Amino acid sequence: MRVNPVLVETSTELTPGSALDLACGAGGDTLWLARRGWRVTAVDIAPTAVAQVARTARDHGLEAMVTTECHDLARTFPAGEFDLVSAQYFHTPYDLPRDVILRSAARALRPGGRLLVVDHGSIAPWSWNQDSDARFPSPDEVYAELGLPPSGWAVERAATPRREATGPDGLTAMVTDHVLLVRRVG
């Protein structure tokens, strides 16, 4: 189970608190955060994913640090306030009100909390989306879609780093990520 590298880079400097892992999938990010002292709410639409994350957390002695919840984020959103909300590659081929969900995520932050959105900025050879005309919103466009009032928010990072990634069959390729890190200041 792998952790997303931008999450590692971003959260290593933060004091552990409560985190929300949106669309947690297999739980690599959830477990990585929990091992570092974060209390993590792991959310996914797939009941099997949520059950697997709960089992894996239990198997690693992290059940006290991990809460799992099944949500269709287009309809329901986890309750609570968080110090970190992580939305890693929160893409789908299905219709999804992503801007509404990310706005809800931002509103769920405590003062000083951070929303980390990492998106694809390029197409990897192993991606489900091989449409050469695919358009990837820039970090600035994602921030604009959030519609947050400027007085209560600070953009700490809006970048498009390139990195070498390894696909499921061991193939490597240079990919671009779109990274947006927003902090709630008030």
For the chain of 186 residues, list the mean pLDDT of each consecutive stretch of 10: 92 96 96 98 96 98 98 95 95 80 96 96 79 86 92 95 89 92 93
d(CA 28, CA 7): 11
Question: Which pLDDT belongs to residue 121?
Answer: 85
CATH 3.40.50.150 applies to domain 18-184? yes
User: Side chain identity at 20, as an amino acid letter?
Assistant: L
Question: Which pLDDT belongs to residue 140?
Answer: 96
Question: Which pLDDT belongs to residue 101?
Answer: 95
Question: Which pLDDT belongs to residue 66?
Answer: 98
Tell how far CA 140 is from the center of its chain: 17
Question: Which pLDDT belongs to residue 168?
Answer: 86
Residue 85 contacts residue 115 (beta carbons within 8 Å) = yes
